């Protein structure tokens, strides 16, 4: 070897040694300060997917397997369960929502005479544990599984007075994105948060608004999933609504978009029921209150606020059934879902029992079933949207109801009302001007 080569090798060796010593020392410094290491790792893209918890398919069903198991369950128990698939779509985006109904009477008139409960699971794709709970509840309703602490005869007596509709997976398209690897996805298949797409206080954005987390869509009910759920809620007219989520452990009542709860008797009824559930099944550590006042941020355009204010559901709740506060914000499967068998079974056992407590105590809290038809006000927008969706689904036409068309219908209707009022005003004014004082023909 020549001298120049040996000199260059020596120089390189010295440089490498210096670099090694620098990075070794820097690593020790970062290790002594975890917070600083976290900042450094994020800024240098040192966090990678290998540190994230994957979906545990030894515990969890895939979306396809879960829905297939529910279909088989319904097929085995036609005397207790039936299932329908509601389809919708617009602007090239299609979806379907499965609805399972528990009830021993098959006619709609029989449904109307009973206490009605509507439950929705899987509204956010990443919250897999909620749909597992839906399957467990349906298995208990079919009597293929049992609650160990509940008397069988008493349970049958309670359930005989109820009609329960269960939506096991409201956001099927979003769930498929999660299963494809986007473990933090909560929105639907085209990037809209379904729990921000309802009309009550829709579209307002807080200072910390994150479109990835809270995109409300281009308009209230722009998404087929929320259109389907609205139509279902208005037609079923439930006495109790529960929207089931994960991320923490909490029992929320209205409101999500402001820091107040309902007042008077409605508050007493809801709070009493939630306190009983917290005592019996949540080990007294579930947060109770309004979503907006308890969770630390306001949520605008949520399903529960719409159910309470617009559908006039007497008891409207959001349940949060699990959360791992120690998980990284990027480790979404671990944050929103139990990852070991013991925690998985505990969540399903505790919360399935909690729902059957709701089934038992809910009707007692509300007293006798009463019709809410006279005190319910459905807006012309809700009526027209629901009517057009029903017509499209009934006849199976492959057509889209465009927002522009809906706006024109609403505009014409409002112009008609305005013109009617103006014509009435003009008519009354002419009558008033046509009246003249009577002049006496007899001289005084």
Q: DSSP readout, 275-297?
A: HHHHHHHSTT-SEEEEHHHHSSS
**Which residue out of 132, 170, 185, 320 is catalytically annotated?**
320
Beta carbons of 245 and 319 less than 8 angstroms apart: yes
- Helix segments in 367-402, DSSP class H: 380-395
Is the confidence at residue 126, as pLDDT, over 50? yes
In this model, does residue 307 exceed pLDDT 90?
yes
d(CA 168, CA 64): 12
Helix axes 172-179, 128-141, angle to 10 degrees: 120
* Closest to 243 measured CA to CA, from 313, 334, 339: 313
Tell me the C-alpha distance between 225 and 424, whole Å. 42
63-373 is classed CATH 3.40.50.620: no
Lowest mean pLDDT among 32-41, 62-71, 81-90, 168-177: 32-41
pLDDT digits (tens, 9 = 90+) for 347-392: 999 999 999 999 999 999 887 444 443 344 445 454 444 444 434 3
Q: Does residue 43 register a pLDDT over 70?
A: no
Which one is predicted more confidently, 361 or 106? Answer: 361
Mean predicted confidence (pLDDT) in 422-443: 63
Query: What pLDDT shows up at residue 115?
Result: 95
State yes or no: cis peptide before 255, omega within 30 of 0.
Answer: yes
pLDDT in the model for residue 44: 36
Q: At residue 58, does pLDDT exceed 70?
A: yes
Domain boundaries, the chain: 63-373, 382-426
Identify the residue with better confidence: 436 or 117. 117
% of the chain beyond a pLDDT of 70: 74
Distance CA 58, CA 36 (A): 36
The pTM assigned to this predicted structure is: 0.75
- Classified as helix, coil or strand, 193 is coil
| pLDDT tens, position by position, 250-306 | 999 999 999 999 999 999 999 999 999 999 999 889 999 999 988 888 999 999 999
Q: In the structure, what pLDDT confidence band is assigned to residue 335 with cuts at 50, 70 and 90? A: very high
More confident call, 94 vs 402: 94
- The pLDDT value given to residue 375: 43
**What pLDDT band is residue 100 in, cutting at 50, 70 and 90?**
very high
- Output DSSP code: residue 440: P
What pLDDT does residue 28 have? 42
β-strand partners of 240:
117, 315
Segment (H or E) for 78: none
Asked whether residue 20 carries a pLDDT value surpassing 50, the answer given is no
Mean pLDDT, all residues of the chain: 81
Q: Is the pLDDT of residue 42 over 60?
A: no
Q: What is the pLDDT of residue 343?
A: 97
d(CA 291, CA 301): 12
- State the Cα–Cα distance between residues 241 and 309, nearest whole angstrom: 12
What is the model's pLDDT at position 296? 81
The length of the chain, given as a count of residues = 444
Which of residues 251 and 38 earns the better pLDDT score? 251
The SS3 call for residue 61 is coil
Name the pLDDT band for 108 (thresholds 50, 70, 90): low
Q: Does 320 participate in catalysis according to the annotation?
A: yes
The residues, ordered by sequence, that sit 6+ positions from 441 with a Cβ below 8 Å of its Cβ are none
């Amino acid at each position: 070897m020549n001298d120049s080569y040996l000199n260059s090798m020596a120089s390189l060796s010295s440089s490498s040694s210096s670099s090694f010593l620098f990075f070794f020392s820097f690593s020790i410094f970062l290790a002594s300060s975890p917070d600083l290491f976290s900042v450094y790792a994020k800024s240098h893209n040192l966090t990678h997917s290998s540190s994230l918890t994957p979906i545990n398919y030894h515990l969890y069903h895939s979306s396809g397997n879960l829905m297939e198991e529910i279909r088989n369950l319904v097929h085995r128990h036609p005397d207790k369960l039936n299932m329908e698939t509601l389809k919708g779509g617009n602007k090239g985006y299609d979806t379907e929502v499965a609805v399972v109904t528990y009830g021993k009477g098959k006619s709609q008139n029989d449904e109307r005479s009973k206490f009605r409960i509507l439950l929705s699971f899987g509204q956010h794709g990443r919250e897999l544990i909620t749909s597992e709970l839906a399957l467990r509840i349906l298995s208990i309703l079919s009597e293929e599984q049992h609650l160990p602490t509940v008397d069988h005869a008493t349970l049958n007596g309670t359930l005989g007075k109820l009609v329960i509709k269960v939506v096991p997976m409201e956001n099927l398209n979003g769930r498929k994105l999660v299963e494809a690897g986007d473990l933090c996805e909560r929105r639907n298949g085209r990037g809209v948060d379904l729990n921000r797409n309802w009309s009550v206080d829709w579209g307002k954005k807080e200072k910390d608004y994150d479109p990835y987390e809270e995109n409300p869509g281009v308009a209230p009910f722009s998404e087929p999933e929320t259109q389907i759920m609205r139509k279902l809620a208005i037609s079923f007219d439930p006495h109790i609504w529960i929207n089931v989520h994960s991320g923490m452990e909490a029992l929320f009542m209205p409101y999500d978009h402001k820091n107040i709860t309902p007042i008077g008797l409605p508050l007493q009824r809801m709070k009493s029921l939630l306190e009983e559930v917290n005592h019996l099944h949540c080990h007294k550590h579930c947060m109770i209150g309004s979503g907006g006042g308890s969770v630390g941020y306001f949520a605008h355009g949520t399903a529960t606020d719409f159910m309470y204010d617009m559908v006039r559901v007497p008891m409207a709740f959001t349940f949060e059934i699990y959360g791992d506060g120690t998980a990284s914000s990027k480790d979404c499967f671990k944050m929103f879902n139990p990852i070991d068998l013991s925690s998985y079974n505990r969540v399903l056992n505790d919360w399935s029992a909690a729902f059957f407590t709701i089934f038992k105590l809910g009707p007692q809290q509300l007293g006798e079933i009463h019709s809410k038809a006279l005190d319910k006000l459905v807006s012309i927008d809700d009526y027209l949207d629901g009517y057009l969706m029903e017509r499209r689904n009934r006849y199976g036409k492959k057509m889209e109801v465009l927002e522009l068309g809906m706006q024109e219908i609403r505009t014409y209707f409002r112009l008609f009302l305005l013109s009617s009022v103006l014509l009435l005003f003009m008519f009354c004014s002419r009558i008033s001007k046509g009246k003249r004082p009577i002049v006496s023909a007899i001289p005084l």
